[in-house]
Structure 1
Amino acid sequence: MTNANRLAEHYQRALRADEVLAQIDAHFPAGPTLHQLAPLDQLHIGGVAASARLLERLDPTTHVNVLDVGAGLGGLMRQGAALGFQMTGLDITHGFSVLNRALCSRVNQPDAPPLAWVTGDAGALPFADNSFDAVLFQHSLLNMPDANRVIAQSRRVLRPGGQLVMHEVVSGPNVAHLRYPVPWAANSEHSHLLNLSELTRLLETGGFQLVHVDDWSEMALAWRQRQRQKSRRHDQPCCHPSGYLANAF
């Protein structure tokens, strides 16, 4: 089994798409709203609000065609489509792509641009050069072992002057406290966290000019505390989420 197949298996092994869709149909016969789906498709740190901050960095009049790398179940895609972006979602886990499409068919977004779903590897993007005005990453680079190749592919499919926008988890000073399994990996084989300096260097050497960097650690930790308010266990932060905006040369 290849590394890509093992990663897809990690995410897909507990996926019960038929059960998920049956419950959604039972609870929301008229179709769910984006916020009603958020507990299922916006599991990244910060939820819907984090996706909104990511999308605020783009303009649907100039960034018409947007690629979401590691689209998962499509929460960011549908949120972007609601703002007028033409979203294409790529994920290495085919089960996610299939369920993503099924969820989109249940959400009432009659005025949104059409969506597209592709199962594929971010290190070998199945798109022509200069295909997109923007490329998004949200908690997806952390699963990719060859980040240099992924960034090179992202640069290739971006038009000149296009933008790369990231909401990524990066390693912090307490990374030694990280214990598996974690939400994105059952073991160290699929966890590829970079620290902030490494990620910055990766983007700059990959042909991008950084124009905006945010450290969302405080907001993320506050969000995490709210999500886990019933738990008394204290976790030291091993990772920090960062927001990046980079222009392609």
Structure 2
Amino acid sequence: MYDLLKFRYFLLFFLIISCRDAPKKSSETLDTNDSTESIVTEETSEKVILFFGDSLTAGYGLELEEAFPALIQNRLDSLGLEYTVINSGLSGETTSGGRNRLDWVLNQKVDVFVLELGANDGLRGIPLTETLKNLQAMIDVVKKKNVDTKIILAGMQIPPNMGPEYTTEFRKIFPELAEENQIALIPFLLDGVAGIPELNLEDGIHPTPEGHQIVRDNVWSVLKTVIE
């Protein structure tokens, strides 16, 4: 129970901070509900894993404990690994918005930083050069803040609405960035979930609790090699 409450406190604290730079909502973005509760957190001596993303990270439409960051916390606890997971997912976040709020969430030492942004850029048709520039800038900021922080980049894909060329080039951004920066890559965060109706909510974008369990496994397959 303590671990669950600890996770909730960290999530709500960072949602509150993040909302200062929250982007406007759009029907074509990955959305989640904003939090208005005020939570004071305590310092932790455990290592910290920070999930920095949009509503896929925040767990749109679900209870906090059903979203994949909380499921990762459960996995860590079950293995006796002393890590605290921080969920810093924000509704409708783009790479530009994430870049603007990143300093707010790096006020403490982060041991593992999982960057899950870009999907909303793709759904909005934001120029690929802009998405690439923002992702690289965030990677640079994390490295500059603490050279020992291990970074994991979550790969993303989008429907072909913007045309085959844009869709293909968008998908290439993530493995290319991971290779250039020599950081770990989750090939496709929603692998085994995207496009499967029974694993997504009615909007067809956000995973169900069962979908988040698969996302957890996708994340864990990479995360476990980073923290070993």
Structure-2-length-normalised TM-score: 0.43
TM-score (norm 1): 0.40
Highest CA radius of gyration, 1 or 2? Answer: 1
Q: Larger helix proportion, structure 1 or 2? A: 2
| Larger strand share, 1 or 2 | 1
